[in-house]
Amino acid sequence: MSETKLAVFVKNETVIQSIYKDFVTGVMVAFCVYISQDSTWWTFVTGLMFILFLFAKTKGIMDKTLNFKTKAELQKWVDNLPDV
| Amino acid 35: pLDDT | 83
Q: What is the mean pLDDT of the chain?
A: 83
* Residues 36/42, Cβ–Cβ less than 8 Å: yes
Say whether pLDDT at 79 is over 60: yes
Give residue 1's pLDDT band: very low, low, confident or very high (50, 70, 90).
low
What are 46-75's pLDDT values in tens digits? Answer: 888 888 888 888 888 777 888 888 888 888
| Amino acid 23: pLDDT | 93
3-state secondary structure of 83: coil
* Residues 7/63, Cβ–Cβ less than 8 Å: no
pLDDT (mean) for 8-28: 85
